[in-house]
């Protein structure tokens, strides 16, 4: 069987030590502290967040650690263990949207977004990043970076939002604004909410209706894989993954145009109407009949059915109906492939191999166009299923995939 690398999560001790060391080696002084925030996998509910829908992420045990110290001026210097010799610099004074290029846009953008939100006390900083969240894998390495930075800045500048779940929504807004407006990568809030609001052993049922307050829009759903003797395998296909290449924005624009055509604020309204109707199948058909073109019909069908699948998955998993939970994983992927058209051959093939080898269900996770799949398998089978996917990838001449073992871990926190 082909071998496949499993990516381990950095331990608390190693993350703190490595980030602290990178900071002092680079800036020749001690940091003020170390903070960390995780990547995520979304169990189900894909491309629903920006449609005011439902999604269901868990935080990964894989985290980004940042050692940080505030500065008395407006300068920012950031370094990452990926390229320890390359320190990126920026100045917050007079900074405009998209004014920083490269990866530094993500952390610098958080400070910029907090200042834009009126937190004028937020100023410059030096920061060193160490991460085990695989980059460009659809596992939210960017949210892990922006959210760890937001927690650090909240702490060192005494904003006081990091210590409560409701307060963290302010930090989530800054992290999102950084990604959207400074890094130019569209994101709808799923990743940042997961990184800052998940709790161990639970999936976060996130309701993205804008009218809900922070206290109303999440509920913690038990997600205990051990109880059902299961594992959640993640396979990073290593197919190139880019969310800022226009495809994501295009999907989003089509959904917004569809909502306008249907005379509603967002597609969630339509989805709820359909779900509550006497004959949801007929009601969906009538809705789609009102849309002008095939592409728009497909996109709407995905969003409407995916929101319903989140509800069904939560119910099935809570009942211990793993066959049904797996079926919903499969239906979600198939809808993303056929209707939302965000999969690539690597994702489809990885999912097929998992399904053909005993997985209860398998689906892509995240934005798509590359990235990772998740598969629900019996305990002890992850290695074997991952190896079979790797073998098929060799045959297909794809990049070698990587894997990791996922479970519902904790959200971001101060580490030292
Ligand atoms: C990316 C975005 C999220 C979400 C997913 C798709 O991860 O950052 O906001 O839209 O794609 O569900």
Would residue 233 count as lying in a domain?
Answer: yes
Judge whether 388 and 1 are in contact, CB under 8 Å: yes
Distance from C-alpha of 36 to C-alpha of 58, rounded to nearest angstrom: 16
Counting beta carbons within 10 angstroms of the beta carbon of residue 215, is it exposed (0 to 12), middle (13 to 18) or buried (19 or more)?
Answer: exposed
Would residue 342 count as lying in a domain?
Answer: yes
Based on the fold, state whether residues 265 and 372 are members of the same structural domain.
Answer: yes
Based on the fold, state whether residues 366 and 242 are members of the same structural domain.
Answer: yes
Based on the fold, state whether residues 61 and 92 are members of the same structural domain.
Answer: yes
> Which CATH number goes with the domain that contains 105?
3.30.230.10
Would residue 57 count as lying in a domain?
Answer: yes
Distance from C-alpha of 321 to C-alpha of 315, rounded to nearest angstrom: 9
pLDDT (average), residues 343-372: 97
Based on the fold, state whether residues 343 and 358 are members of the same structural domain.
Answer: yes
Based on the fold, state whether residues 183 and 202 are members of the same structural domain.
Answer: yes
In this prediction, residue 298 carries a pLDDT of: 98
How would you classify the pairing of strands 88-91 and 75-80? Answer: antiparallel
Last residue of a domain, one of 223, 254, 283: 223
Based on the fold, state whether residues 67 and 91 are members of the same structural domain.
Answer: yes
pLDDT (average), residues 198-204: 98
In this prediction, residue 297 carries a pLDDT of: 98
Based on the fold, state whether residues 243 and 104 are members of the same structural domain.
Answer: no
How would you classify the pairing of strands 57-70 and 125-131? Answer: antiparallel
Q: Which domain does 284 fall in, by range?
A: 226-406
Torsional class of 356: left (φ above 0), alpha (ψ -120 to 50), beta (otherwise): alpha
Per residue in 22-66, pLDDT (tens digit) is: 999 999 999 999 999 999 999 999 999 999 999 999 999 999 999
At residue 348 the predicted structure's pLDDT band, cuts being 50, 70 and 90, is very high
In this prediction, residue 215 carries a pLDDT of: 86
Residues belonging to the chain = 416
* Best residue for ligand 1 mutational test, from 41, 47, 195, 340 (most atoms within 8 Å of Cβ): 47
Last residue of a domain, one of 223, 244, 263: 223
Pocket of ligand 1 (CB under 6 A): 42, 46-47, 49-50, 187-191, 243, 366-367
Would residue 164 count as lying in a domain?
Answer: yes
In this prediction, residue 178 carries a pLDDT of: 98
Would residue 412 count as lying in a domain?
Answer: no
Based on the fold, state whether residues 96 and 142 are members of the same structural domain.
Answer: yes
Would residue 415 count as lying in a domain?
Answer: no
At residue 246 the predicted structure's pLDDT band, cuts being 50, 70 and 90, is confident
Judge whether 402 and 3 are in contact, CB under 8 Å: no
Q: Which two tokens stand for residue 250?
A: 């295009």
Query: If you average pLDDT over every residue of the chain, what do you get?
Result: 97
Q: How far is the CA of 45 from the centre of ligand 1 (A)?
A: 10
Q: What element of type H or E holds 376?
A: strand 372-378
At residue 2 the predicted structure's pLDDT band, cuts being 50, 70 and 90, is confident
Based on the fold, state whether residues 122 and 143 are members of the same structural domain.
Answer: yes
Based on the fold, state whether residues 15 and 120 are members of the same structural domain.
Answer: yes
In this prediction, residue 186 carries a pLDDT of: 87
Per residue in 373-398, pLDDT (tens digit) is: 999 999 999 999 999 999 999 999 99
Last residue of a domain, one of 223, 240, 263: 223
Residue with tokens 């937190």: 119
Distance from C-alpha of 173 to C-alpha of 175, rounded to nearest angstrom: 5
In this prediction, residue 244 carries a pLDDT of: 54
> Which CATH number goes with the domain that contains 383?
3.30.70.890
Query: Quick count: other Cβ atoms within 10 Å of Cβ 311?
Result: 16
Q: Residue 242: pLDDT above 80?
A: no
Based on the fold, state whether residues 15 and 103 are members of the same structural domain.
Answer: yes
Of the candidates 119, 135, 120, 125, the residue with the CA atom closest to the CA atom of residue 66 = 125
Per residue in 110-165, pLDDT (tens digit) is: 999 999 999 999 999 999 999 999 998 999 999 999 999 999 999 999 999 999 99
In this prediction, residue 151 carries a pLDDT of: 98
Would residue 416 count as lying in a domain?
Answer: no
In this prediction, residue 273 carries a pLDDT of: 98
Q: How far is the CA of 21 from the centre of ligand 1 (A)?
A: 33
% of the chain surpassing 90 pLDDT = 96
Residue nearest to atom 5 of ligand 1 (CA): 367
- At residue 287, the 3 state secondary structure works out as helix
User: Among 32-36, 103-107, 236-240, 323-327, where is mean pLDDT lowest?
Assistant: 236-240
Based on the fold, state whether residues 190 and 156 are members of the same structural domain.
Answer: yes
Between 335 and 241, residue with greater pLDDT: 335
Question: For every residue of 109-158, which 3-state class applies, written as one string?
Answer: HHHHHHHHCCCCCCCCEEEEEEECCCCCCCCCHHHHHHHHHHHHHHHHCC
Distance from C-alpha of 308 to C-alpha of 295, rounded to nearest angstrom: 20
Would residue 411 count as lying in a domain?
Answer: no
191 is an active site residue: yes
Distance from C-alpha of 138 to C-alpha of 236, rounded to nearest angstrom: 8
Residue with tokens 């290695």: 383
In this prediction, residue 1 carries a pLDDT of: 63
Judge whether 245 and 184 are in contact, CB under 8 Å: no
Residue nearest to atom 2 of ligand 1 (CA): 187
- Number of domains within the chain: 2
Q: Residue 240: pLDDT above 90?
A: no
In this prediction, residue 332 carries a pLDDT of: 99
* Best residue for ligand 1 mutational test, from 45, 251, 366 (most atoms within 8 Å of Cβ): 366
Distance from C-alpha of 151 to C-alpha of 172, rounded to nearest angstrom: 10
Q: How far is the CA of 41 from the centre of ligand 1 (A)?
A: 10
């Amino acid at each position: 069987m082909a071998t496949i690398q499993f990516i381990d999560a950095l331990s608390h001790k190693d993350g703190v030590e490595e980030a602290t060391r990178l900071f002092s080696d680079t800036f020749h002084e001690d940091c003020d502290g170390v903070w960390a925030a995780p990547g995520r996998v979304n169990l189900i509910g894909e491309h629903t967040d920006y449609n005011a829908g439902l999604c269901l992420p868990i935080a990964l045990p894989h985290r980004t650690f940042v050692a940080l110290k505030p500065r008395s001026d407006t300068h920012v210097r950031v370094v990452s263990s990926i390229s320890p010799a390359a320190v990126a610099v920026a100045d917050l004074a007079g900074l405009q949207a998209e004014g920083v290029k490269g990866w530094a846009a993500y952390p610098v953008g958080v400070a910029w977004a907090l200042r834009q939100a009126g937190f004028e006390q937020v100023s410059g900083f030096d920061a060193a990043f160490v991460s085990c969240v695989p980059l460009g894998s659809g596992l939210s390495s960017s949210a892990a970076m922006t959210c760890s930075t937001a927690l650090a800045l909240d702490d060192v500048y005494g904003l006081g939002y990091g210590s409560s779940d409701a307060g963290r929504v302010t930090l989530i807004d800054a992290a999102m604004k950084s990604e959207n407006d400074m890094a130019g990568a569209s994101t709808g809030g799923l990743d940042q909410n997961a990184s800052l609001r998940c709790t161990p052993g639970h999936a976060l049922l996130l309701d993205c209706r804008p009218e809900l307050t922070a206290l109303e829009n999440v509920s913690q759903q038990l997600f205990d894989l051990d109880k059902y003797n299961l594992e959640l395998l993640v396979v990073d296909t290593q197919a190139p993954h880019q969310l800022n290449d226009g495809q994501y924005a295009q999907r989003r624009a089509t959904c917004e145009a569809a909502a306008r055509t249907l005379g509603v604020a967002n597609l969630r309204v339509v989805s709820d109407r359909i779900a509550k109707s006497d004959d949801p199948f007929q009601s969906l058909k009538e809705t789609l009949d009102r849309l002008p073109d095939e592409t728009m019909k497909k996109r709407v069908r995905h969003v409407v059915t995916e929101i319903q699948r989140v509800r069904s998955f939560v119910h099935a998993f809570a009942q211990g109906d793993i066959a049904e939970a797996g079926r919903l994983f499969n239906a979600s992927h198939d809808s993303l492939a056929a209707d939302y058209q965000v999969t690539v051959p690597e994702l489809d093939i990885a999912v097929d191999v998992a399904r053909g080898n005993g997985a209860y269900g398998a689906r892509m996770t995240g934005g798509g166009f590359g990235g990772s799949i998740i598969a629900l398998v019996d305990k002890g089978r992850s290695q074997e299923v991952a190896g079979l996917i790797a073998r098929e990838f060799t045959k297909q001449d794809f990049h070698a995939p990587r894997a990791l073992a996922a479970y519902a871990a904790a959200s971001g926190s101060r580490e030292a």
